[in-house]
Amino acid sequence: MADPIQQFEIKTIATLGKIGPYDIALTNSGLFMLAAVGVISLLMILGARSRAMVPGRFQSLAEVSYEFVANTVRSSAGKEGMKFFPFVFSLFMFVLVLNLFGMVPGGFTVTSHIIVTFVLALLVISTVLIYGIATHGTHFFHLFVPSGVPMFVLPVITVIEIVSFLARPVSLSMRLFANMMAGHIALKLFAGFVVTLGGLGVVGFAGAILPLGIAVAITALEFLVAFIQAYVFTILTCIYLHDALHPGH
């Protein structure tokens, strides 16, 4: 049976140079990221080109994605959150397109590597920290000191608040990574059952029907998960940005 982990293997496509002992290489992961950026840019450029009153195919796709993200930002981060719209929109489109690339047969799922999702989450958290401290100064740290707490439990609560803040990038990245990886492994396993059982003759054919049905159902579920996880990533980004805009009120 095919190895279900093999699909996550990083392969070097071209080596561009060296820094110390490390290769600077274009991997399949990097290639898919570049492709995602290319596809998103193409969609937006084609969508913005005609600027028709009655939108065409690309334009309505671009408009739908804009409206969707803009509504998410407005409802979760508030009106002032719209200054972060370009950032949030880029994140959403990047994660969504990478998730969907993973659904192309033979494709590589970049978001199934925790280092990728963790760097994206770090980007979000450092934006929150830098913007929060730059605009609110020390007032930003009121985020960790809730008001109306008795003095004698305040130190404990503050430590818990700090740890819970530190847990945010971890949970943000782990959620996306775990979902994508688990889904793809499950898909590969059931598809592998079909092939193995199919090779066993008539009895195998009958036995392969059930895993085949499950594989089809998981494929549909994975499309849903690809979308939902991109959305969850976006909405949590907005909620954290909301904290940066209005710390501890």
DSSP string, 149-211: --GGGHHHHHHHHHHHHHHHHHHHHHHHHHHHHHHHHHHHHHHHHHHHHHTT-HHHHHHHHHH
Closest to other proteins by CB, 169 vs 211, is: 169
**Which of 104, 125, 123, 230 has its CA nearest to residue 179?**
230
Shortest Cβ distance from residue 24 to other proteins (Å)? 29
Name the token pair of 153: 């439990």
Closest to other proteins by CB, 73 vs 191, is: 73
Closest to other proteins by CB, 55 vs 207, is: 55
Shortest Cβ distance from residue 168 to other proteins (Å)? 7
Binding site for other proteins (CB under 8 A): 71, 74-78, 143, 146, 156, 159-161, 163-164, 166-168, 170-171, 174-175, 178-179, 224-225, 228-229, 231-232, 235-236, 239, 242-243, 248-249
Closest to other proteins by CB, 97 vs 226, is: 226
Please count the CA atoms within 13 angstroms of the CA of 32 that sit on its side-chain side.
26
Residue 53 is classified by DSSP as S
Shortest Cβ distance from residue 239 to other proteins (Å)? 5
